[in-house]
Structure 1
Amino acid sequence: MPAKPLAKPPAKPPATSPVTSRRLMAIAAATLIAAAAPATFAYAAPSAGVSPTTVAPGGRVALNVDGCGTRTGRATSTAFSEVRLTPGNLNATNLYGSATVFRDANPGTHRVIFECGGPGGERVTVSLQVASGAARGGTGGSIGSMSPGQVAVGGALAAGALGAGIWVLRRRAAGTGAA
């Protein structure tokens, strides 16, 4: 019987040098830091808003900043006086306030600067658009584009319809009209 050839022992993997191991560890650490950094920075930046974003002089706006992490803040603008913001919840993640736009505010875009914790705190800037002219009062502008003749014709038609309705009702009440 022929003899079986001897099996070769399994090959050992090549040994890694200490320099290679350190490089791999440095790459792994850098990857971990890079993956965690955007989440940290996204959480840390507050966001703010003004509602409505377009307002007439003399109008009111609501102010809100989220993510300050403080219980105090302020909002300033050339369109209104400084406003102290107060917490909207126990964790002070939202700060709220409201402002009245100056009646003589210049039309155009005004910056609104929110500061977390007051002066020197983290800042967020948003835009507020001040419309030209004042808001219409009274009829709300519903007849602003109508001529006096159109208003007179409309009034005459309404009065005629009212008179015809009263005439029909009186005839029915007297029993002379159709039932």
Structure 2
Amino acid sequence: MPATPLAQPSKRRLLGRVAAATLVLVAAAPVTVAHAASPSAGVSPTAVAPGGRVSLNLTGCGTKTALASSTAFGEVRLTPGNLEATTLVGGATVYGNATAGVYTVSFECGGSGGQRVTVALQVSPGGARGGLGGSVGTASPGLIALGGTLAAGALGTGVWILRRRSRTA
């Protein structure tokens, strides 16, 4: 019978451990739920020239609409980017007369009074690049000379071939 008293304290220890583990899980659950419900936002590109266009996205809102606003471009209504409305998207054109500097972009879930997230947008000095969409950088004089030489060589070769054909015909 001496084994019975030893079994009782182990059951108490087990119950104490289960109770402690349950308490830890219950205490951590609201933090996890609150963290999962907080929205996140982004602006792409993060640096733009006055007159340039930026894409705006917001995830984790739980609503089908949101607003993005900044003194760099005004107010923009974001709409669902997918069927589940987990991502809200929109676009904005930075004012052409915006001065260079860092601007705050505020995202608000569901409109006024909803959850709010802010991100930074850098407006760089200078105008928006045009032409080929800004995909071509500055060309050095050496590259321009090389391109001209290749074009002249191709033209000269074409003329030589055409003249040679006309003599043999």
Using the size of structure 1 for normalisation, the TM-score is 0.73
SS in 1 for 2:41: strand
- Does the C-alpha gap of structure 1 residues 161 and 12 become closer, same or farther in structure 2, counting only changes over 3 Å? closer
Instruction: List runs of 5+ in structure 2 lacking aligned partners.
Output: none
The aligned runs of 1:1-179 (5 Å cut-off) are 9-13=1-5, 27-138=20-131, 146=141, 155=148, 158-159=151-152, 162-175=155-168
- Quote the sequence identity (%): 57
- Does the C-alpha gap of structure 1 residues 51 and 166 become closer, same or farther in structure 2, counting only changes over 3 Å? same
Counterpart AA for 1:99: A
- Does the C-alpha gap of structure 1 residues 145 and 22 become closer, same or farther in structure 2, counting only changes over 3 Å? same
The C-alpha deviation readout for 1:49-77, integer Å capped at 9, x for no partner, is 11111111111111110110112210011
| Greater RCO, CA 8 A, separation 6+ | 2
The C-alpha deviation readout for 1:102-125, integer Å capped at 9, x for no partner, is 111121221111000111110111
- Does the C-alpha gap of structure 1 residues 156 and 70 become closer, same or farther in structure 2, counting only changes over 3 Å? closer
- Over alpha carbons, which structure has the higher Rg? 1
Higher helix proportion, which one? Answer: 2
Instruction: List runs of 5+ in structure 1 lacking aligned partners.
Output: 1-8
SS in 2 for 1:82: strand
Using the size of structure 2 for normalisation, the TM-score is 0.76
Inter-partner Cα distance in structure 2 for 1:126 and 1:23: 46
The C-alpha deviation readout for 1:78-137, integer Å capped at 9, x for no partner, is 110100111223433221111001111121221111000111110111111111101333
- Does the C-alpha gap of structure 1 residues 65 and 153 become closer, same or farther in structure 2, counting only changes over 3 Å? closer
Q: Which moved more, 1:20-29 or 1:100-109?
A: 20-29
Query: How many pairs are equivalent?
Result: 164
Q: Which moved more, 1:157-166 or 1:41-50?
A: 157-166
Inter-partner Cα distance in structure 1 for 2:103 and 2:161: 60
- Does the C-alpha gap of structure 1 residues 117 and 157 become closer, same or farther in structure 2, counting only changes over 3 Å? closer
